[in-house]
């Protein structure tokens, strides 16, 4: 057979592929670790490369009912004294903020009391609140919750506009021969290639005049511009492939053209519509620059995270948690459309 490789070739292929795997996987793993890290883990070096579920501290009893908390930064200095406290409230706050351990202060004091019996310091291990950074992200970053809501609404509006207009145009391009078809195709390509910034800034002026500045529909209108053209391109190639006889049969049996379109053509074009709407979704979901130009109060999640990176020099772990929320839907959608991406570029199954 042609494709048979000798052992040396096989080994080098394996090395290259493993290398690729590591180059993709390591940054992702470390990123996940950061987004689940507490404030103390963020300040230590070298950092953990895998997320940890627990925190260990050494607690030594002191006079006047006080306790000293030690933490091991893994920097070779062993246990380092962090803080000496007796107050339940303050202990609780310290554990929440520094270790993401949300145990009531009274409980901590009760646990630490065990050191009094021997008078010797002891190691205590607590479970971290796994989603602490996520709740913190929504708590300390202004607009985070409304940003998430806005992002969802803008994405849905973008899908709606680009699908309705785009599939109409796609159908016309696939089924009819008319004057100016070639020019229209070129025009749609130019619209699709036109840089977003080039349109965003003058668009701001137009939207202000229309009273749509800083509105979700205004953003969706902008995001739909390239996606209408993209949708018409994707759907037209699918409409060409759909059997025309089926449509004619429906017309013969008395369906009007609207019914035919809705009952016969549309369902068959569903995969193309799904793919197009995923593209529309990712445009709206991922964009930052247009949202930066076209909004003030009604920010999208992507813009909120972008601003959070800029403003919080400490606490980047919260921004990281926010961007995990940002990634998840895009990740799900990419794997749904991966089939169609392949189809569009020529029938590969993945």
Within 207-246, the residues that bind other proteins by CB under 8 A are 221-222, 224-225, 228, 232
Report the residue from 11, 114, 123, 186 that binds other proteins according to the rule CB under 8 A: 186
- Closest approach of other proteins to the CB of residue 39, in Å: 13
Contacts to other proteins from residues 145-184, by CB under 8 A: 164-166, 168-169, 171-173, 175-176, 178, 184
Alpha helices in 141-269 (DSSP H): 144-175, 181-193, 196-210, 216-241, 244-252, 257-260, 266-268
- Residue indicated by tokens 């529909």: 217
* Contact call for residue 202 and other proteins (CB under 8 A): yes
- Residue indicated by tokens 């989603």: 131
* Contact call for residue 199 and other proteins (CB under 8 A): yes
* Contact call for residue 258 and other proteins (CB under 8 A): no
* Contact call for residue 288 and other proteins (CB under 8 A): yes
Sheet holding 122-127, edge to edge: 79-85, 67-72, 54-61, 122-127
Q: Which stretch binds other proteins (CB under 8 A): 106-114, 129-137, 190-198, 266-274?
A: 190-198
The 8-class DSSP code of residue 264 comes to I
Q: How many residues does the chain have?
A: 350
C-alpha to C-alpha distance for 23 and 131, rounded to whole angstroms: 27
- Closest approach of other proteins to the CB of residue 178, in Å: 5
Report the residue from 198, 252, 253, 314 that binds other proteins according to the rule CB under 8 A: 198
Report the residue from 286, 312, 315, 339 that binds other proteins according to the rule CB under 8 A: 286
Report the residue from 7, 45, 245, 252 that binds other proteins according to the rule CB under 8 A: 45
Q: Give me the 298-337 binding string for other proteins, x by CB under 8 A, dash otherwise.
A: ----x--xx--xx-----x--xx--xx-xx--xx-xxx--
* Among the listed residues 117, 120, 88, 127, the one whose alpha carbon sits nearest the alpha carbon of residue 104: 88
Distances (CA, A) of 212 to 140, 216, 234, 307: 29, 8, 30, 23
Answer whether the bond into residue 46 is a cis peptide, omega within 30°: yes
* Contact call for residue 8 and other proteins (CB under 8 A): no
């Amino acid at each position: 057979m042609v494709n048979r490789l000798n052992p040396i070739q096989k080994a080098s292929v394996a090395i290259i592929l493993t290398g690729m795997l590591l180059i993709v996987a390591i940054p992702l793993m470390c990123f996940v670790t950061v987004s689940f890290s507490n404030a103390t883990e963020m300040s230590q070096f070298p950092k953990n490369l895998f997320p940890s579920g627990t925190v260990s501290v050494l607690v030594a009893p002191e006079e006047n009912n006080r306790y000293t908390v030690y933490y091991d930064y893994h920097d070779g200095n062993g246990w380092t004294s962090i803080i000496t406290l007796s107050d339940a409230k303050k202990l609780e706050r310290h554990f929440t903020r520094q270790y993401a351990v949300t145990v009531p202060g009274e409980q901590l004091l009760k646990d630490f009391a065990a050191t009094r019996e021997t008078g010797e310091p002891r190691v205590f291990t607590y479970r971290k609140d796994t989603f602490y950074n996520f709740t913190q992200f929504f708590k300390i970053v202004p607009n985070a919750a409304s940003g998430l809501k806005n992002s969802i609404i803008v994405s849905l509006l973008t899908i709606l506009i680009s699908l309705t207009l785009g599939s109409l145009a796609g159908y016309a391009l696939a089924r009819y021969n008319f004057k100016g078809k070639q020019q229209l195709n070129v025009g749609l390509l130019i619209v699709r290639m036109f840089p977003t910034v080039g349109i965003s800034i003058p668009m701001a002026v137009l939207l202000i005049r229309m009273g749509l500045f800083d509105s979700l529909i205004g953003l969706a209108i902008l995001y739909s511009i390239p996606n209408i053209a993209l949708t018409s391109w994707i759907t037209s190639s699918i409409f060409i492939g759909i059997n025309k006889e089926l449509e004619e049969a429906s017309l013969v049996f008395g369906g009007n053209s609207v019914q035919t379109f809705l009952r016969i053509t549309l369902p068959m074009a569903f995969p193309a519509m799904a793919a197009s709407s995923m593209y529309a979704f990712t445009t709206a979901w991922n964009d930052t620059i247009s949202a930066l130009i076209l909004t003030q109060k009604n920010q999208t999640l992507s813009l909120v995270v972008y601003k959070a990176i800029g403003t919080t020099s400490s606490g980047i772990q919260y921004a990281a948690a926010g961007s995990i929320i940002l990634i998840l839907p895009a990740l799900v959608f990419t794997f749904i459309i991966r089939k169609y991406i392949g189809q569009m570029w020529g029938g590969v199954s993945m």
